[in-house]
Structure 1
């Protein structure tokens, strides 16, 4: 279970992160990341659409992604908003493959978001 302090709850947070955040994609998922320190702790949200599969498959993918995020939570800086969007190949991917794709995409998205933040600050 993802700790309550880490969960993204409001649709406005999802929309803002997807619209303004840095994006990094892999075979099974896309990670959107915005580092703007609107809050002291990081927030993480998941988007698993019906394109991934039925309810059972979507929930399995979401649980696996949640576990992978918990393993990577030390890498997420304070004030960061992260949205993990599962792609249809996530339905057949193993936990190890999802975890590796998340690790790689999260690192890329965080680097891009950091560069954006440095560029935008005077």
Structure 2
């Protein structure tokens, strides 16, 4: 991979992968909603922000769900520099996210993301 592309990559360290991480964000985090998506976010005590995406089967077949996830990941990847570090974010896109213009989706998701780093305080429980 070229060195110039690395800052725009989306490595595993920036993804929420474990069920326990998703559950903590849902149970202990804050929530914001918009017409195309709902965002849950919580301080993670890390220097970077991590993203998780969940979609119910009711949104459509795997092709539709995967398209929505690809579009949401791309918004996060392209705008990572504008999103402050220190958050775990779980996005729940709605059906309209599949057909909305990319610019509209990006604008709405960026409005949902936290605007500043989390307040200093007790750090979250470490991962086991």
Q: What TM bracket, shorter-length normalisation?
A: 0.7 to 0.9
Structure of larger gyration radius: 2
1:34 aligns with 2:42: yes
Pairwise CA RMSD of aligned residues?
2.2
Give 1:111 deviation, angstroms. 4.9
CA distance in structure 2 between the partners assigned to 1:14 and 1:56 by the alignment: 23
Structure 1 unpaired stretches of 5+: none
State the aligned residue count: 114
Q: Do the aligned partners of 1:52 and 1:91 also contact (CA within 8 Å) in 2?
A: no
Unaligned runs of 5+ in 2: 1-8, 123-128
In the alignment, what sits opposite 2:81?
Answer: 74
Q: Residue 97 of structure 1 is aligned with which of 89, 104, 107?
A: 104
- 1:56 aligns to what? 63
Q: 1:113 to 1:22 in 2, by over 3 A?
A: farther
Relative contact order higher in (CA < 8 Å, ≥ 6 apart): 1
Q: Which has the larger share of helix? A: 1
Q: TM-score, normalised by structure 1?
A: 0.80
What residue in structure 2 maps to residue 44 of structure 1?
A: 51
